[in-house]
A and B are shown apart, each in its own frame.
Chain A
């Protein structure tokens, strides 16, 4: 797909598989729902800021679930919040992707035993594409998670959603 620019310059005709074209478009501009929960959200903000620059992968925060492609669950999910996250997820249009960031949203983290108010893993409520381990994960880890998500999208087919 790296040859697209040159193809346009030379003949104005591109021959590609629809799947490749769609996947390329989708993975290159993942708009994330601007949404943070706890300390992981601070790392997520650091990843978005100029030093790590999420935008070079086409990731920008979009403060509306109706126009977001991905949601990064960045932090402790309380039971009260879980009902809200589920609603936000349901408001997002397909195709939609979920990155679970940090131990808390992966499995409950430090609250796994005595956290009477904590959901032990966001995958009990919504389906997760990529889990990023860490407490909290460093921005590099979140970038790695995003690249993994892009990999998953790159190999999607139109017949069946895999990511």
Chain B
């Protein structure tokens, strides 16, 4: 099944929870969904007889950096507004088709429903996205930092306006 067919199925099933379909891209097309409905959508994609998306291949965070850019007093970039996104790459091993999903959340209050209850492997993927971008996954069983130290207080390193601190536990960080 092609992405467009899957998009049409989802649109009739979920209506305004499906926000769009991007296909005129140099990369694979993706379906844009509501971050608060992503769990139900994923559950349907996994369980439906004609779709059977049994594998979450990857779940990644992206800082779109599409907000208003300004400089603070130390000449560092600050971004206000705009969105943080999460991409889901799904694959059906049984039926041999795949799609990509995207959800966007406001940068100041990034909240997405967790799909950990749909695919168990989303657990650590979501923790990584939380660690690197600060996206909060609602109903995640154990949302802690996974790579950075647990007492890391300088924020989320893969955000475009991230500023690395001078010291961590007395160790100088810059070269």
Contacts and interface: CB of A to CB of B under 8 A. Distances in A.
Interface string B160-175: 0010100011011111
Interface in B116-171: 147-149, 157, 162, 164, 168-169, 171
Contacts of A80: 148-149
Classify the interface of chain A: helix, strand, loop or mixed.
loop
Nearest to B164: A116
A112 interface: yes
A113 interface: yes
Interface in B83-116: none
Contact of A82 (B147, B157, B164, B171): B171
A116 B149 CA distance: 12
Interface stretch (A37-45, A96-104, A118-126): A118-126
A79 B168 contact: yes
Main secondary structure of the interface of B (DSSP, over half): loop
Contacts of A83: 149, 169
Interface residues of B, number: 13
A136 interface: no
Given A107-B175, A120-B174, 16 more contacts: A79-B149, A79-B169, A80-B149, A83-B149, A83-B169, A108-B175, A113-B175, A116-B162, A116-B173, A117-B147, A117-B148, A117-B157, A119-B173, A120-B173, A124-B172, A125-B171
Contacts of B148: 80, 117
Contacts, number: 30
Interface string A107-150: 11000110011011000110000000000000000000000000
Interface of B: 147-149, 157, 162, 164, 168-169, 171-175
Contacts of A79: 149, 168-169, 171, 173
Contacts of B147: 117
A87 to B, nearest CB: 12
8 contacts: A83-B169, A107-B175, A113-B175, A117-B148, A119-B171, A119-B173, A120-B172, A124-B171
A113 B164 CA distance: 11
A30 to B, nearest CB: 27
A125 B173 CA distance: 12
Interface string A75-87: 0000110110000
B55 to A, nearest CB: 29
A66 to B, nearest CB: 24
A113 B162 CA distance: 14
Contacts of B173: 79, 116, 119-120
A116 B164 CA distance: 6
6 tightest A-B contacts by CB? A80-B149, A116-B164, A112-B175, A116-B157, A120-B175, A79-B168
Nearest to A82: B171
Nearest to A111: B175
